Amino acid sequence: MREEEGVLRIVEARNACELGRAWFGDGVVSSEIRVHGEDATIDEALDAAAELLGAAKRVLVYLAPDSTCEAQRAAVALADHLHGVVDDITSSTAAGGVLAAQRRGRPTASLGEIRNRADLLVFWGVDPAVRYPRFFSRYAPEPEGIYVPGGRRDRTVIAIDIGDERGPADADARIAIDPDVEQSELARLSAATLAGSNGAAEVGGALAALSPHFDSARYAAIVYDAEPPVPSGAVSTADRSWRAEAIVLLAQQLNARIRCSLVPLRAGGNRNGAEAVLTWQTGYPMTVDFSRGVPRYRPDEPSASLIARGAVDAIVVIGNVRAEGIPPMDGVPRVSIGPWASGAEPAAEIAIDTGVAGIHEGGMAFRMDDIPLPLRPVFPGESPWPDSAAIVAALDARICARAAEVLR
């Protein structure tokens, strides 16, 4: 870091990948507070937000990426007191896998266990190098592990190509599948696994070539994209849950013969943390409705659907409003709290810029394998940006105080 014109800036992020360098940037973000496009103080913005939300009939509290677990917990309390709906980006990007895991369970492992034990890696229609550039070098297949001391030499990598969704270019073996028959091929492979070592020859299919690799492996890891692109015209990926469910079934059957874990690749920004906080506070990982005074699970009505059909008349966005995957919120009055909140398009009625988690403010965040990690601010001393968790809690306190006055 160095100081330029009285402002501390990050000049270099060592040992960081492209995503890390983009996250750190130069450490400078906007620090504006706006009410209806005009500069305002924190108190003025909070009073205006409390008035807007207090007058709304149904509020959506939306947990955008890049917020700490502390801010997310405060947001759940806010949604509870407003009798609104609280949702996170999962309902639009990873709902299919979540619903499949709820129906069947899911054999999982930490990324450290994959690094130390997995000698067979099956990449199901995904190449981590594209979106997760450090996966190969930090976890598998390149690093040496306790039970795979030779690193890449001790591992077999299989790429399953499904149409344009291709596995790693340097895979030891490659199997191509037409997207139209992926579901039936997965069912064939599961049947072959259930039948035992001779099942592949009896059941057949394009994926039958995988069975010998599973038979010779000690520890297999099936890596798949848990956040596939949302199909055109859809509001979520929940309708693609059959893939996650079929892969879960395959892994469960494989565990009768070898150790097999699933590695769902998730985007960053503490998305797993939002699911963990929501589950901890309400019992459900996404789309929780407090309108009846108790939490109700509504995965059939994700936030994108509620907004599209005009079922909410105010929105509170907590987190990075510029993150990819956030549904359009045009035409609905908004309160935006998070980094770059004042730069959202279209502009929010009330916008409060905060610092970036892990750079300007600390807290807790979850890795994609659900391991909690503490965030330590990079900038020393007191941050010039308000803390997002404190801002959400202050807004909640104002709304509760207004409600108490009405009851007097």
Q: How far is CA 395 from CA 30, 33, 38, 42, in A?
A: 21, 14, 19, 10
* Ramachandran assignment for 78, one of left (phi > 0), alpha (psi -120 to 50 degrees), beta (any other): alpha
pLDDT greater than 80 at residue 199: no
pLDDT greater than 90 at residue 139: yes
For residue 322, what pLDDT band results from cuts at 50, 70 and 90? confident
pLDDT greater than 70 at residue 135: yes
194's tokens: 């259930």
For position 7, what pLDDT does the model report? Answer: 66
Select the more confidently predicted residue: 323 or 199: 323
Q: Which residue has the tokens 């929105």?
A: 315
Percentage of the residues of the chain whose pLDDT score is greater than 90: 62
Give dist(CA 365, CA 272) in Å, integer.
Answer: 8
Contacts of 50 (CB under 8 A, 6+ apart): 395, 398, 399, 402
- Encode pLDDT of 244-294 as tens digits: 889 999 999 899 889 999 999 998 899 999 999 999 999 999 999 999 999
Query: CB of 301 within 8 A of CB of 98?
Result: no
Percentage of the residues of the chain whose pLDDT score is greater than 70: 91
pLDDT greater than 80 at residue 239: no
pLDDT greater than 60 at residue 389: yes
Q: Specify the CATH number of the domain 95-265.
A: 3.40.228.10
pLDDT greater than 80 at residue 2: no
Give dist(CA 1, CA 195) in Å, integer.
Answer: 60
Distance of CA 402 to the CA centre of its chain: 34
Q: Which residue has the tokens 């699933």?
A: 262
Q: Give me the half-sphere count of Cα atoms (radius 13 Å) on the Cβ side of residue 187.
A: 5
Rounded to the nearest integer, the mean pLDDT of the chain is: 88
Select the more confidently predicted residue: 177 or 385: 177
pLDDT greater than 60 at residue 197: no
- SS3 of residue 72 by DSSP: helix
354's tokens: 């905060």
123's tokens: 């990449």
For position 209, what pLDDT does the model report? Answer: 84
For residue 332, what pLDDT band results from cuts at 50, 70 and 90? very high
Length of the chain: 408
pLDDT greater than 60 at residue 5: no
210's tokens: 């995988």
Q: How many CB atoms lie within 10 A of CB 343?
A: 16
Annotation: CATH topology of 2-92+270-407: Rossmann fold (3.40.50)
Q: How far is CA 182 from CA 112, 132, 189, 249, 276, in A?
A: 30, 24, 10, 14, 31
Among 137, 91, 98, 130, CA closest to 115? 137
Q: Assign 3-state DSSP to the chain and report helix, strand, coil percentages, each to 5.
A: 40, 20, 40
Instruction: Confirm whether pTM is higher than 0.85.
Output: yes
Select the more confidently predicted residue: 28 or 124: 124
pLDDT greater than 70 at residue 381: no
pLDDT greater than 80 at residue 202: no
Among 316, 320, 297, CA closest to 307? 316
- Encode pLDDT of 79-119 as tens digits: 999 999 999 999 988 998 899 899 889 899 999 999 999 99
3-state SS, 95-122, equals: HHHHHHHHHHCCCECCHHHHHHHCCEEE
Give dist(CA 195, CA 189) in Å, integer.
Answer: 10
Contacts of 6 (CB under 8 A, 6+ apart): none
For position 405, what pLDDT does the model report? Answer: 74
Q: Which residue has the tokens 């079934």?
A: 249
pLDDT greater than 80 at residue 385: no
Query: CB of 60 within 8 A of CB of 87?
Result: yes
Q: Where are the domains of the chain?
A: 2-92+270-407, 95-265
Among 40, 31, 89, 53, CA closest to 392? 53
- Encode pLDDT of 30-89 as tens digits: 889 999 999 999 999 999 999 999 999 999 999 999 999 999 999 999 999 999 999 999
